[in-house]
Amino acid sequence: MKLSQIYVLRVKSDEELVHSISQYCKSNSITSGVIIGIIGSLQSAKLGFLKELPGKYITRELQGPLEIVSAQGNVATYQNEFALHIHILVSDENHAIGGHLNGAKVFSTAEIVLAQLDGQIIRGFDDYTGLKELKD
């Protein structure tokens, strides 16, 4: 697959980051893409950590303010439904932690660079991992 278009968007203070990215993608008919990066700050974040197979996650809630050091992911479909998958690294003045982004509330701003693809990324259920994995 190749990149077909690049989008740059901003999520404003007090908005929910994952929801805002999902809504932007849906509004622009983006069902296949790569999140190249996210920078900004968060009031709070919910991160998931895979602890055991098949598909056993724990969730950790973090309170900010937090800096978004790095984030990347993809936009795909699972059973013909929109599927967003993002991993993020956040920090405060003393520590950094990363994981699967389940949700986050923006503090000042979040800037997202998103590339739409010319083909469709599809996820399917994997019996071994118990997760929605990329299909070959």
What tens digit of pLDDT does each residue of 67-88 get? 999 999 999 999 999 999 999 9
Q: What is the CATH number of the domain that holds 53?
A: 3.30.1330.80
Give pTM, 2 decimals: 0.93
Q: How many domains does the chain have?
A: 1
Question: CA 103 to CA 75: how far, in whole Å?
Answer: 16
| Close Cβ partners of 102 (under 8 Å, ≥ 6 residues apart) | 18, 46, 47, 48, 59
User: 135 in a domain, yes or no?
Assistant: no
User: 76 in a domain, yes or no?
Assistant: yes
20-67 tens-digit pLDDT: 999 999 999 999 999 999 999 999 999 999 999 999 999 999 999 999
